[in-house]
């Protein structure tokens, strides 16, 4: 009591506040890690399973849950740069970081940008890199080893990842983007891009369509020969082909994998045609061969330059990798990176199979589009109003934070309303702020409060049954919004037809 009497009222108040904060577990280290969740202190971000959940662990050795925005810097933000920041990209970028912090985001899993979102050449990428190095904000770095489909030029093929040319490309990109960051403790790790290996059929078909004796074509043909134990008649029966031998396939022919492969992986029924089950299994094996090769080459090259930071691999649509593919690439990545939650391909199975945690790398929570864009390709996840985005965000926040498999989430979101540009993919995506810098207040308030709850909820992971209940609630709500949008589009189309 005598000691307390000698402390000023202001100082005593500060001590009590600190004690209350510590009791809630909200005292943080310089990187944002919880001081009372302790792991190994390595000097770099890494993952650990601590007690009953997976954690991202800060360089100082404390548990961290990374919540971020996937697209803080985009070519389509020109309106905000012009009107809210008088044309100053530097102020736009610096204030973007301030705004993310105010919204409760503590990291950027995409880094300052992903290349497919700044492909129009109007963004100063070097300035963005400089600002993020100075920001004291945990972030990942895009090493662009796989182009997003929107980046492919007309007629451009996907690369032959088995070739010497591709190995040289990986080496050059790693030297340019990894080597300069190997000692930066604020870097979470390296990822290869969003939407990697979308259109599985095209990846396989284009690899098989390369010239005879090309490395990728040879590899995939060898795999098929092994799967069919050298019996070309069995392969011909499945694919309705007439190759004389596997050598004939290698030198003179090819196979074409159907578009329905992706649809079946997304939950559609398997076609009734004979051989469809074998075709699907072959496609999964061939895709796995391509994916494993890319990750093996890339991991080896990164580790030559940097043995400290995590390798995050590709950020993929939730149906692209099955549990089998996650197992194949597990030696070459530190975190599983599905873009979204899935009700047809739950990532929990991949976590259990690989012993690695997951980050939701591009989780959508609904978008409010102009009527002209709704229903068009690339403008997915439409909801009626921003209040519906609030509902989905709030549901997602609780579901994700309570799941012990996750170490973080990056929301498919932009800070400012986007211009439409050239195609539906660049689609007028709504932001947290308009192009004059004014907040969408109800959404901003929800995001702030939901993000605060995330950092409390991560301490109390739920059992699988409780997680499943939260998961069902989210998907039922999402399905209800989808029905509303479908009915709206149908009614508008009916009136147009008249």
Predicted confidence (pLDDT) per residue in 449-479, tens digit: 999 999 999 989 999 999 999 999 999 999 9
**Mean pLDDT in residue range 206-218:** 95
Q: What is the DSSP letter of 174?
A: H
Average predicted confidence (pLDDT) for the chain = 91
pLDDT at 182 over 80: yes
**Looking at residues 368-388, what average pLDDT do you find?**
74
Q: What is the pLDDT of residues 317-349, one digit of tens each?
A: 999 999 999 999 999 999 999 999 998 889 999
Q: Say how far apart CA 322 and CA 280 lie, in whole Å.
A: 12
Fold of 65-209+254-497: TIM Barrel (3.20.20)
- Domain range summary for the chain, segments of one domain joined by +: 65-209+254-497
Alpha helices, H only, 256-408:
260-265, 276-305, 323-329, 347-354, 386-401
Produce one character per residue of 150-165: b if its CB has 16 or more CB atoms within 10 Å, e if not.
beeeeeeebbbbbeee
Binned at pLDDT 50, 70 and 90, residue 492 comes out as confident
Cβ-Cβ contacts under 8 Å for 15 (sequence gap 6 or more) = 7
Q: Can you point out the beta strands (E) in 107-211?
A: 139-142, 187-194
Q: Where are the alpha helices (DSSP H) in 103-196?
A: 125-134, 164-177
Q: Provide the pLDDT confidence category of residue 12 given band limits of 50, 70 and 90.
A: very low
What pLDDT does 295 receive?
98
9 pLDDT tier (thresholds 50, 70, 90):
very low
User: Who's near 142: CB < 8 A, 6+ residues apart?
Assistant: 110, 111, 113, 114, 115, 177, 190, 191, 192, 193
Closest C-alpha among 121, 241, 479 to residue 232: 241
The model's confidence at residue 384, banded by pLDDT at 50, 70 and 90, is confident
Average pLDDT over residues 286-301: 98
What is residue 374's predicted lDDT score, i.e. its pLDDT?
Answer: 66
Is pTM beyond 0.85? Reply is yes
| Rounded distance between C-alpha atoms, residue 371 and residue 245, angstroms | 54
Question: Nearest Cα to 310, choosing from 461, 138, 457, 491?
Answer: 138
pLDDT bin (cut points 50, 70, 90) of residue 8 is very low
Summarize the confidence of residues 63-69 as an average pLDDT. Answer: 98
Instruction: Answer yes or no: are the C-beta atoms of 109 and 66 closer than 8 Å.
Output: yes
| Beta-strand pair 187-194/310-315 | parallel
In 3-state terms the chain splits into helix, strand, coil percentages (rounded to 5) of 45, 15, 40
- The predicted pLDDT at position 491 comes to 82
Residue 6 has pLDDT above 60, yes or no: no
pLDDT tens digits, one per residue of 22-38: 434 469 999 999 999 99
Q: Confidence band (pLDDT; 50, 70, 90) for 495?
A: low
Q: What is the DSSP string of 326-373?
A: HHHHGGG-SSB-BSS--SSS-HHHHHHHHT--EEEEEE---B---TTT
**Tens-digit pLDDT profile for residues 47-59:** 999 999 999 999 9
Residue 5 has pLDDT above 50, yes or no: no
Q: What three-state secondary structure class fits 249?
A: helix
Q: Which has the minimum average pLDDT: 8-12, 263-267, 402-406? A: 8-12
Q: Whose CA is closest to 145, among 296, 292, 298?
A: 298
CB atoms within 10 A of CB 126: 8
């Amino acid at each position: 009591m005598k000691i307390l009497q000698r402390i000023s009222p202001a100082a005593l108040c500060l001590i009590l506040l600190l004690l209350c904060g510590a009791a809630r577990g909200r005292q943080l280290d310089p990187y944002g890690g919880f001081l009372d969740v302790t792991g190994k202190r390595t000097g770099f971000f890494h993952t650990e399973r601590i007690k009953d959940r997976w954690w991202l662990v800060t360089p100082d050795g404390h548990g961290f849950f990374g919540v971020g925005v996937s697209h803080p810097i985009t070519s389509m933000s020109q309106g905000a740069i012009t009107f809210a920041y008088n044309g100053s990209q530097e102020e736009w970028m610096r204030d973007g970081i301030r705004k993310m912090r105010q919204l409760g985001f503590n990291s950027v899993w995409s880094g300052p940008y992903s290349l497919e979102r700044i492909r129009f050449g109007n963004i100063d990428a070097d300035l963005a890199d400089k600002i993020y190095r100075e920001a004291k904000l945990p972030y990942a770095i895009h090493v662009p080893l796989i182009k997003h489909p929107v980046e492919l030029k007309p007629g451009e093929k996907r690369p032959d990842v088995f070739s010497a040319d591709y190995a040289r490309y990986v080496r050059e990109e790693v030297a340019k983007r990894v080597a300069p960051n190997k000692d930066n403790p604020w870097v979470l790790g390296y990822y290869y891009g969003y939407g990697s290996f979308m259109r599985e059929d095209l990846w396989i078909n284009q690899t098989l369509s390369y010239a005879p004796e090309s490395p990728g074509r040879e590899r995939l043909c060898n795999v098929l020969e092994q799967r069919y134990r050298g019996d070309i008649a069995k392969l011909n029966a499945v694919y309705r082909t007439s190759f004389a031998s596997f050598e004939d396939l290698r030198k003179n022919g090819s196979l074409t994998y159907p578009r329905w492969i992706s649809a079946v992986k997304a939950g559609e029924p398997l076609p009734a045609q004979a051989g469809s089950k074998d075709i699907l299994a072959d496609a999964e094996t061939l895709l796995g061969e391509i994916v494993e090769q890319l990750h093996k080459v890339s991991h080896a090259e990164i580790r030559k330059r940097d043995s400290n930071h995590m390798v995050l691999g590709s950020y993929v649509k939730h149906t692209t990798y099955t549990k089998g593919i996650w197992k194949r690439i597990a030696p070459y990545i530190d975190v599983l990176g599905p873009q979204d939650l899935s009700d047809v391909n739950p990532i929990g199975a991949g976590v259990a199979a690989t012993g690695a945690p997951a980050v939701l790398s591009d989780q959508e929570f609904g978008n409010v589009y102009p009527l002209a864009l709704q229903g068009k390709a690339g403008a997915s996840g439409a909801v009626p109003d921003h209040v519906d985005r609030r509902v989905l965000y709030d549901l997602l926040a609780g579901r994700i934070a309570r799941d012990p498999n996750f170490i973080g989430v990056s929301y498919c979101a932009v800070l400012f309303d986007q211009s439409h540009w050239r195609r539906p993919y660049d689609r007028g995506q709504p932001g947290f702020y308009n192009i004059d810098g004014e907040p969408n207040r109800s959404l901003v308030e929800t995001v702030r409060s939901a993000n605060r709850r995330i950092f409390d909820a991560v301490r109390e992971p739920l059992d699988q049954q409780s997680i499943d209940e939260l998961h069902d609630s989210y998907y039922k709500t999402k399905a209800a919004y989808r029905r509303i949008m479908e009915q709206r589009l149908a009614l508008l189309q009916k009136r147009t037809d008249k």
